[in-house]
């Protein structure tokens, strides 16, 4: 296919060159800040050179023309081959660490190494971390290192065919048998089959099974158990194990999600994770010092989800922004040259707010990781006070990041016109990978209702004049005002308006819930009937948190470590995010805060000015995110901007184009064309 390679120039599209030379800040400084420092940026680039330089021609597209089974097997092959590279790199660059091996199996570089995904992500991100986080030192020694090195491969089996977000409804049982010092795990019915765990289908030989613990038929809550599911040598399912893959999905092609049924499968007592809750040899149960400690796993995973979704959103934004700088269409005036479509204000409105959203959620996730580290440290010392707050904030961030991220990716795909519909644009794969997170680790509406219930509980505490945790601190500052905050058009005013609105929506949800209960409805029925108000209050609670966090990250003490030019760009992004957020929620804001027509016109003007100011820097900001071409895997978003040669190149690679006539012609098409009417 030498003729295909000649299609793509070695030069960069002149429009992209113009965009880069016109940037008003140092892209290298932005990139170093985004990666967490120059050293991390240098390491990232060194790793990318090592792992991407020798990939075969067509590496990112070939899987699109494979069968379902071949895609899976090809992905396993890619993981095995990458493991050799990654282990060597780990030993070379950071011996004893885990940032490259196994870290690169799930971070952004994995999007380039495994364009169809791979089945080990759940193993690395959940199975390993749950063992290390909730196992005893003996359990970590026994399973932790082996799992980290992929000597054993596991998955996290919580969701069931008929039970997902409602963990308490899980039906899988683990009964303790004191005679043999074993747990007997059993799937009582079809609805209790484990369903969806990544890698479970044909990859994992262990599963972290979440089950209801019973001792002498007394229930002791949900616990986690390490269950071998396949033979270590033959990989055949073990006795009593019914296991397989759930089938093809909208995205995540090679993740190999599976189902699992257990028929009285026995495991040693010591296979239950016992860092917190314990079962002694005589069957004595020692409860966890905090009933919600198992939420640590879900909090950790939701932080990962926010990281992943913001990354996928920014990948899509980079593709769409570069394409918009190259594509020319629709002159503003007759007989004028066609402008870059990025110069159409309506196109900017499709692109730039998504860049702002991705950056806001990225920075919020970084902030959450700091809180998570503190929470784990305190939990290890027996302090669990921070955990409920952390749980609610992680729920809110997961909901908002996935809701806004998925909508944003689709908006960005649409912004690329017809070409974005091609799989070679990679927008469909990015969307397919992102949209799954809308449901897993807590379906978004269910999580909103959880947050809403926590809000009205906190409101009840507040009205009783008892102290509430810091994340609800805006209740007091908002309700101390004798009237709605005066609109002064400042950034802090926008955040104050969102907090005031969130507090008022929480108050209304609380009052309506109480009114329904007073009329005779049970608490559960009343909560269901108040669901719309609870969900809306929950969303606003999350939005004020993201806005406040973004403001602090951009204008707080960390700004002193950045140049004035970079801070100016970041403040432009912050301005765009805040203005767009308040405009998107204006229907609720106007219910509680008096804004004049002049105020609303001012917000509209601020939006237009923010878009205009960001225009010269849009491509450079996307460059600063540092997505390698292999990661973007898009004919529309390559760094060189050679969109049309790459589009034609991808078309020539279609397997159907490798033969001029398809076999169906002689068999079906020709007879059809020759048939008489």
Give tens-digit pLDDT for 174-192: 999 999 999 999 999 999 9
Give the model's confidence band at 677: pLDDT under 50 very low, under 70 low, under 90 confident, else very high: low
pLDDT attached to residue 360: 98
Residues 12-33, mean pLDDT to the nearest whole number: 98
Q: Within 13 Å of residue 165, how many CA atoms lie on the same side as its CB? A: 15
Look at residues 227, 261, 289 and tell me which one is the last residue of a structural domain: 289
pLDDT above 80 for 311: yes
Q: Of 34-38, 373-377, 405-409, 649-653, which range is least confident?
A: 373-377
372 neighbors 47 (Cβ within 8 angstroms): no
513-533: pLDDT as tens digits: 999 999 999 999 999 999 999
Residue 255 has phi, psi (to 5 degrees) of -75, -20
Q: Of 128-132, 161-165, 466-470, 606-610, which range is least confident?
A: 161-165
Do 479 and 526 fall into the same domain?
yes
Burial 402-430 (b: 16+ CB within 10 A, else e): bbbbbbbbbbbbebbeebbebbbbbbbbb
CA nearest 220: which of 271, 284, 157? 284
341 neighbors 347 (Cβ within 8 angstroms): yes
159 neighbors 298 (Cβ within 8 angstroms): no
pLDDT attached to residue 294: 62
Q: Within 13 Å of residue 595, how many CA atoms lie on the same side as its CB? A: 24
Look at residues 264, 289, 314 and tell me which one is the last residue of a structural domain: 289
Residues 105-125, mean pLDDT to the nearest whole number: 94
pLDDT attached to residue 574: 98
Residue 159 marked ligand-binding: yes
For residue 51, being part of any structural domain is answered with no
Rounded Cα–Cα distance for residues 199 and 106 (Å) = 13
State what percent of residues in the chain have pLDDT above 90.
87
pLDDT attached to residue 482: 73
657-670: pLDDT as tens digits: 999 999 999 999 99
Rounded Cα–Cα distance for residues 140 and 504 (Å) = 47
Q: Of 91-105, 127-141, 214-228, 284-298, which range is least confident?
A: 284-298
**524 by DSSP, 3-state: which?**
helix
CB neighbourhood size of 491 (10 A): 18
Do 208 and 300 fall into the same domain?
no
Give the model's confidence band at 2: pLDDT under 50 very low, under 70 low, under 90 confident, else very high: very low
For residue 659, being part of any structural domain is answered with no
pLDDT above 90 for 168: no
Do 589 and 623 fall into the same domain?
no
Do 312 and 388 fall into the same domain?
yes
Q: 320: domain CATH number? A: 1.20.140.10
Sign of the alpha-carbon dihedral angle for 37, 361, 155, 106:
negative
Chain CA centroid to CA 104, Å: 16
CA nearest 624: which of 24, 15, 22, 32? 32
Do 626 and 539 fall into the same domain?
no
Sign of the alpha-carbon dihedral angle for 156, 161, 163, 169:
negative
CB neighbourhood size of 24 (10 A): 13
Residues 419-426, mean pLDDT to the nearest whole number: 97
For residue 454, being part of any structural domain is answered with no
Residues 129-145, mean pLDDT to the nearest whole number: 94
Token pair for 483? 């009237």
pLDDT attached to residue 291: 56
418 neighbors 454 (Cβ within 8 angstroms): no
Total number of domains in the chain: 3
625-641: pLDDT as tens digits: 999 999 999 999 999 99
> What are the angstrom distances between the C-alpha of 87 and each of 40, 84, 498?
18, 5, 48
Q: 165: domain CATH number? A: 2.40.110.10
pLDDT attached to residue 16: 98
Phi-psi region of 275 (alpha: psi -120 to 50; beta: other; left: phi over 0): alpha
pLDDT above 80 for 128: yes
CA nearest 155: which of 255, 249, 246, 266? 255
278-291: pLDDT as tens digits: 999 999 999 876 55
pTM of the full structure: 0.94
pLDDT above 80 for 6: no
Rounded Cα–Cα distance for residues 453 and 392 (Å) = 10
**Mean pLDDT (the chain, rounded):** 94
Q: At what angle do helices 564-584 and 345-380 cross, to 10 degrees?
A: 100
Do 278 and 192 fall into the same domain?
yes
Do 562 and 628 fall into the same domain?
no
453-471: pLDDT as tens digits: 999 999 999 999 999 999 9
Parent domain of 397: 1-44+295-442+618-654
Q: In sequence order, what are the residues at sequence separation of 6 or more whose Cβ sits closer than 8 angstroms to the Cβ of residue 247?
A: none
Do 384 and 268 fall into the same domain?
no
86 neighbors 48 (Cβ within 8 angstroms): no
DSSP 292: T
Cα angle: 25, vertex 31, 32; to 5 degrees: 110
Do 489 and 563 fall into the same domain?
yes
Residues 110-129, mean pLDDT to the nearest whole number: 94
Chain CA centroid to CA 617, Å: 26
pLDDT attached to residue 37: 96
For residue 66, being part of any structural domain is answered with no
For residue 486, being part of any structural domain is answered with yes
441, 533, 539, 575: the active-site residue: 441
For residue 146, being part of any structural domain is answered with no
Token pair for 173? 């049982």
Do 203 and 267 fall into the same domain?
yes
Rounded Cα–Cα distance for residues 186 and 528 (Å) = 33
Catalytic residue status for 441: yes
CB neighbourhood size of 575 (10 A): 20
Residues 560-584, mean pLDDT to the nearest whole number: 98
pLDDT attached to residue 486: 84
261/293: higher pLDDT = 261
> What are the angstrom distances between the C-alpha of 667 and each of 194, 524, 662, 670, 671?
45, 63, 10, 7, 7
317-357: pLDDT as tens digits: 999 999 999 999 999 998 899 999 999 999 999 999 999 99
Do 306 and 269 fall into the same domain?
no
544 neighbors 568 (Cβ within 8 angstroms): no
426 neighbors 434 (Cβ within 8 angstroms): no
Sign of the alpha-carbon dihedral angle for 648, 651, 653, 657:
negative
DSSP letters, 328-373, are B---SSTTSPPPBGGGSHHHHHHHHHHHHHHHHHHHHHHHHHHHHH
CA nearest 156: which of 183, 190, 193, 195? 195
Residues 482-497, mean pLDDT to the nearest whole number: 89
pLDDT above 80 for 12: yes
> What are the angstrom distances between the C-alpha of 122 and each of 153, 154, 204, 294, 618?
10, 8, 10, 17, 34
pLDDT above 60 for 10: yes
Give the model's confidence band at 292: pLDDT under 50 very low, under 70 low, under 90 confident, else very high: low
CA nearest 223: which of 176, 261, 267, 273? 273
Helix, strand, coil percentages, rounded to 5, for the chain: 60, 10, 30
Do 371 and 419 fall into the same domain?
yes
For residue 97, being part of any structural domain is answered with no
pLDDT above 60 for 1: no
């Amino acid at each position: 296919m030498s003729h295909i390679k000649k299609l793509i120039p070695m030069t960069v599209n002149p429009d992209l060159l113009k965009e880069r030379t016109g940037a008003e800040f140092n892209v290298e400084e932005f990139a170093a800040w985004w990666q967490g420092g120059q050293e991390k940026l240098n390491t990232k680039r060194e790793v990318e050179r090592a792992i991407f330089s020798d990939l075969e021609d067509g590496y990112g597209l070939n899987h699109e023309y494979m069968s379902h089974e071949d895609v899976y097997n090809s992905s396993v092959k890619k993981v095995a081959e990458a493991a050799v590279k990654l282990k060597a790199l780990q030993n070379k660059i950071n011996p004893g660490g885990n940032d490259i091996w196994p870290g690169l199996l799930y971070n952004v570089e994995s999007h380039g190494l495994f364009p169809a995904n791979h089945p080990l992500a759940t193993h690395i991100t959940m199975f390993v971390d749950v063992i290390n986080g909730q196992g005893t030192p003996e359990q970590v020694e026994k399973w932790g290192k082996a799992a980290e090195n992929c000597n054993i491969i596991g998955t996290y089996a919580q969701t069931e065919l008929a039970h997902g977000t409602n963990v308490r409804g899980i039906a899988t049982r683990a009964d303790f048998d004191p005679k043999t010092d074993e747990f007997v795990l059993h799937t009582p019915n079809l609805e209790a089959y484990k369903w969806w765990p990544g890698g479970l289908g044909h990859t994992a030989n262990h599963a972290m099974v979440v089950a209801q613990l019973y001792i002498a038929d007394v229930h002791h809550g949900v616990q986690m158990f390490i269950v071998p599911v396949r033979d270590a040598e033959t990989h055949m399912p073990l006795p009593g194990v019914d296991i397989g893959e759930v089938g093809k999905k909208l995205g995540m092609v090679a993740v190999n999600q599976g189902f699992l049924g257990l028929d009285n499968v026995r495991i040693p007592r010591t296979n239950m994770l016992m860092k917190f809750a314990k079962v002694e040899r005589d069957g004595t149960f020692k409860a966890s010092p905090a009933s919600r400690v198992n939420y640590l796993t879900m909090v950790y995973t939701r932080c990962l989800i926010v990281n992943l979704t913001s990354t996928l959103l920014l990948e899509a934004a980079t593709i769409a922004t570069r394409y918009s700088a190259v594509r020319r269409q629709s002159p503003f005036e007759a007989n004028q040259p066609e402008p870059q479509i990025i110069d159409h204000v309506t196109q900017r409105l499709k692109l730039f707010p998504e860049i702002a959203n991705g950056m806001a959620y990225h920075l919020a996730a970084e902030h959450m990781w700091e809180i998570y580290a503190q929470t784990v440290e305190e939990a290890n010392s027996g302090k669990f006070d921070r955990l409920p707050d952390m749980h609610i904030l992680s729920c809110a961030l997961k909901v908002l990041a996935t809701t806004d991220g998925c909508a944003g990716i689709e908006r960005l795909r649409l912004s690329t016109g017809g070409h974005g519909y091609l799989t070679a644009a990679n927008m469909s794969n990015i969307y397919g990978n992102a949209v799954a997170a809308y449901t897993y680790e807590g379906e978004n509406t269910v999580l909103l209702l959880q947050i809403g219930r926590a809000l009205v509980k906190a409101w009840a505490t507040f009205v009783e004049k008892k102290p509430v945790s810091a994340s609800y601190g805006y209740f007091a500052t908002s309700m101390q005002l004798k009237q709605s905050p005066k609109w002064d058009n400042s950034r802090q005013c926008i955040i104050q308006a969102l907090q005031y609105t969130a507090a008022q929506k929480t108050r209304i949800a609380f009052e309506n819930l109480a009114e329904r209960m007073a009329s005779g409805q049970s608490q559960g029925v009343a909560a269901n009937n108040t669901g719309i108000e609870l969900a809306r209050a929950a969303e606003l609670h999350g939005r004020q948190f993201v806005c406040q966090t973004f403001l602090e990250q951009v204008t707080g003490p960390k700004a002193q470590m950045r140049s004035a030019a970079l801070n100016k760009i970041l403040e432009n992004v912050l301005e765009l995010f805040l203005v767009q957020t308040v405009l998107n929620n204006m229907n609720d804001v106007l219910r509680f805060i008096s804004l004049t027509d002049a105020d609303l016109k001012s917000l509209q003007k601020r939006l237009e000015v923010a878009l205009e100011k960001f225009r010269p820097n849009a491509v450079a900001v996307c460059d600063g995110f540092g997505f390698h071409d292999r990661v973007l895997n898009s004919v529309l978003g390559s760094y060189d901007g050679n969109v049309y040669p790459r589009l034609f190149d991808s078309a020539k690679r279609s397997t159907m184009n490798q033969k001029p006539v398809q076999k169906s012609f002689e068999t079906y098409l020709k007879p059809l064309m020759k048939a008489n009417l």
